[in-house]
Structure 1
Amino acid sequence: MRPRIVALVAGGAFALAATLTAFTMLVGSWAPQNGVRTTGVAAVGGPFTLTDETGRQVTEAELLGRPSVIFFGFTYCPDVCPTTLYEMSNLMERLGPKADRMNWVFVSVDWERDGPEEMRAYLQAFDERIRGFTGTKEQIDAITSAYKVFYERVPTGEGEGDYTINHTASVFLMDGKGGFVGTLGYGEDADTMLAKLERLAAGG
């Protein structure tokens, strides 16, 4: 497997922290009322066309009918992405059969380096039920715009074409109709995240 970039540049790390703070303020905490999440923010989610880790085209229609847990990142990510995917894998194990009632998706924002083959190899380290979606720059820009996801490429100075990517680190929770219901925050308490996922699974 290709070597991974081992550190984020200082300016990039600051930008990521600022983005996470802003996103947390935008989304707010999980506080369902009569089973409905109300935020007062613009709709999150929408149509997309991407390619999964097998090379097959997928759209938003494939996720409907079951709740979805969606995380945006990239395979060269040195810390946030592998940490989040390991946490997701552990939560899936704790959920037991409930985890089978949901879609688990990792969307790469690295349209240049992450194709189906790279996604398939990378996801072997995590729960096998996590699917990997990727696409062209235009396709990634479309889905990140729909989900209000921030991402930006940051040159590392290690050579021509070398870069890392700052990106939103929250995990998106969507209901079976494709409606946004909340997030899992990076570094959030595992029991709190589990409780959110149990409510998501119960809500359908």
Structure 2
Amino acid sequence: MMNIVNMGQKLFRASLLLAFSAALAGCDGTAPAPDASPPLEGARIGGPFTLTDQNGRSVKDSDFTGQYRLIYFGYSFCPDICPVDLQKLMRGLARFEKDAPERGARVQPLFITIDPARDTPEALRAFVSRYHPRLLGLTGTPEQIAQAAKAYVVVYNKVEGSAPDRYLMAHTQIAFLMDPEGKPLAMLPVDDPTTDGDEGAPEKVAAELAKWVK
């Protein structure tokens, strides 16, 4: 079963990376020139959403105006991919916060579920608390989730399991950094083959944040 899910994730990721290959040509982990443009500048990624956070509060994309946003789509019942990615991302954010506290405080991390049937606010509260104290877990109706995923070019589908409640979700494995106006800046390296294992990934995430968060 996991081979099918992993294959689906790789196909989704490959198609997305091909779509952005030209835009990402300059995203190589080095410091940008003073007038360098973000690799995703002008890309049609992001848009309005209304969701519910892990505390049951209604949350809109406009609530984060003035903040950078680190956005990852996944689900709390994911057996391995999502927990590993979130660990890399949140450890990278923590390093950036330590090196640049004022700029780090301007980054709001968001985890948006693609499995609203199981990811209730209560389930997300327990899940996101493992990774970062400021990580918001967002859920909603299937329609609200579908709208948000479409805006962020995230593809997902259900993979049936051995029982009705034991299904998996294949989904695009990618993390976006958005600017204070909600425009896309860069993709963060959660699955970078050049990264030196899991230990090197947080450093690359922190370095990418340092490039674009002002």
Q: C-alpha separation between the residues in 1 aligned to 2:157 and 2:135?
A: 24
Q: What is the aligned partner in structure 2 of residue 170 from structure 1?
A: 174
Residue type at the aligned position of 1:94: R
Q: What is the aligned partner in structure 2 of residue 134 from structure 1?
A: 139
- After the TM superposition, which residues 81-92 of structure 1 pair with which residues of structure 2 at under 5 Å, given as runs? 81-92=82-93
Matched, 1:107 2:112: yes
- After the TM superposition, which residues 56-71 of structure 1 pair with which residues of structure 2 at under 5 Å, given as runs? 56-71=57-72
Give the TM-score taking structure 2 as reference length: 0.84
Q: C-alpha separation between the residues in 2 aligned to 1:164 and 1:60?
A: 27
Q: Deviations over 1:9-59 (max 9, x none)?
A: 322221111111111222232546724335587510001010011100011
- Change in CA separation of 1:81 and 1:65 when aligned onto 2, cut-off 3 Å: same
Identity %: 30
Q: C-alpha separation between the residues in 2 aligned to 1:38 and 1:171?
A: 14
Structure 2: runs of 5+ lacking an equivalent: 196-200
Give the TM-score taking structure 1 as reference length: 0.88
Matched, 1:196 2:189: no
Q: Matched residue of 2:37: which SS?
A: coil
Q: C-alpha separation between the residues in 1 aligned to 2:126 and 2:91?
A: 19
- After the TM superposition, which residues 4-153 of structure 1 pair with which residues of structure 2 at under 5 Å, given as runs? 8-28=1-21, 29=24, 30-31=26-27, 34-37=35-38, 39=40, 42-95=43-96, 96=98, 97=101, 98-153=103-158
Q: C-alpha separation between the residues in 2 aligned to 1:38 and 1:127?
A: 26
Q: C-alpha separation between the residues in 1 aligned to 2:38 and 2:90?
A: 25
The number of residue pairs the alignment matches comes to 194
Q: C-alpha separation between the residues in 2 aligned to 1:93 and 1:169?
A: 21
Structure 1: runs of 5+ lacking an equivalent: 1-7
